[in-house]
Homo-oligomer: A and B are copies of this chain.
Amino acid sequence: MALVVMKFGGTSVADMDRIRNVAAHVKREVDAGNHVAVVVSAMAGRTNELVSFVNDASATPDQREYDAVVSSGEQVTSGLLALTLQSMNVKARSWQGWQIPLKTDSAHGKARIAEIDGDVLRTSIQAGEVAVIAGFQGIADGNRISTLGRGGSDTSAVAIAAALGADLCDIYTDVDGVYTTDPRIVPKARRLEKVSYEEMLEMASLGAKVLQTRSVELAMTQNVRLAVRSSFDDPNAVPAVGKDGSSSVGTIVCSEDEIVEQQVVSGIAYAKDEAKVTLISVADKPGVAAGVFGPLAAANINVDMIVQNVSADGATTDMTFTVPEGDLAHALEVLEAHRDDLQYKDLIGTTDIVKVSIIGVGMRSHAGVAADMFRELASKGINILAISTSEIKISILIDAAYQELAVRTLHTHFGLDQTGA
């Protein structure tokens, strides 16, 4: 038998009918002989409601009290799911963070997990009881309730799976897996059977919002096998997790060693929430980059891609970089305030751009992927505004108008299209 951690998000437990559906997924695993811990979020909308109460109570809320209030949402769901399971003759009990205990640091509102004592939990599970765990919450110093930040239930699930030595951590969500790219843009997008932690991390941070980045990082460092799958599947029409923790449903996120046939490129991500800033004719001399990026960093603005052209006249150059779309106005203000120091001729900001990335651990051992990518885009007349790369990722910045063309072109070119579609 396998020990499985199952995690269900807010839309999966939005009302009692959805909770009964979740219970049926859990019962399937129990009936197959698996040991189960379930991690649940608050019912969809509840956390937002609680947060709005908190903000109404105080303009600068004490994060410890914020945590006491908002953690109540997960407490409710854990109790309701335990009750629903019991009504289906499945032995179950709820667990709050402080009961486990799931210890965190004292960064209330965005706490990090420090230590999980799996002993009492394990004893309960081995006695045949489903452990229904309130996600998102833990206990900090001074016996205070803490929360892990929005989306923290994914992280709870992975940490619990690590503490219990689970064979699989099944993340149930509203999509049925991780795709080679967004199926709304590319109908030929294919669900990946397996994807490596590293690739998933790049995808998560580049806009494929399936899993919270922190949870993937934790799964990678703790070597927890994840599955991403849909809670909207008919619970009785999908197979249970195998005795060895194998699953034929959804996408498995695992170590790259486990992925036998590795593609060079596994997926294509895009992000529309960046903005481009260009400084025209800044002095091309040492210290100018610091003069530009120092004030932005001081203003807490995160700069992503940076391009500095080779100077044509030997005295001035153009400098282009990207910032989060929401920070554009602030970034322009900051640079305007430093006009006298920087002595640029013009300052241009635009949000009419998109970042497209190809991702794949196979790139490590394949040279020429970048050149191949650029050639393919050039053949469609797409101009590249900026480039950044990592060992397993190449990102380019292009005009927003070309987003779909670029994603589709690269998807086909790198062999990701569904066969027969």
Contacts and interface: CB of A to CB of B under 8 A. Distances in A.
A188 interface: no
A69 B58 contact: no
A64 interface: yes
Contacts of A59: 87
Contacts of A93: 64-65
A83 interface: yes
Interface in A49-74: 50, 53-54, 56-62, 64-66, 68-69, 71-73
Contacts of A379: none
A83 B98 contact: no
A83 B96 contact: no
A143 interface: yes
Contacts of A75: 68-69, 71-72, 75
A16 interface: yes
Contacts of A78: 68
A308 interface: no
A10 to B, nearest CB: 15
A82 B53 contact: no
Contacts of A94: 65, 68
Complex copy number for this chain = 2
B143 A99 contact: yes
B56 A16 contact: yes
A118 to B, nearest CB: 16
A79 interface: yes
A384 to B, nearest CB: 49
A218 interface: no
A288 B394 CA distance: 94
Contacts of A81: 57
A353 B324 CA distance: 74
A292 interface: no
Contacts of A84: 57-58
A239 to B, nearest CB: 27
Given A16-B53, A72-B76, A76-B72, A65 B82 contact: yes
Nearest to A99: B143
A80 interface: yes
A86 interface: yes
A121 interface: no
A417 to B, nearest CB: 45
Report whether over half of chain A's contact residues are helix, strand or loop; otherwise say mixed: helix
A4 interface: no
A397 interface: no
B19 A57 contact: yes
Between A61, A83, A143, the greatest number of chain B beta carbons within 10 A of the residue's beta carbon is seen for A83
A38 to B, nearest CB: 14
Contacts of A83: 54, 57-58, 61-62, 65-66, 69
Contacts of A87: 57-60
Given A59-B87, A75-B75, A99-B143, A80 B64 contact: no
Nearest to A120: B143
A15 to B, nearest CB: 9
Interface in A346-363: none
A80 B57 contact: yes
A73 B79 CA distance: 13
Contacts of A82: 62, 65, 68
Contact of A80 (B53, B76, B143, B145): B53
A164 B359 CA distance: 62
A50 B193 CA distance: 40
A13 to B, nearest CB: 11
Closest 5 CB pairs between A and B?
A69-B79, A68-B79, A57-B83, A72-B72, A58-B87
Interface of A: 16, 19, 50, 53-54, 56-62, 64-66, 68-69, 71-73, 75-76, 78-84, 86-87, 93-94, 96, 98-99, 143-145
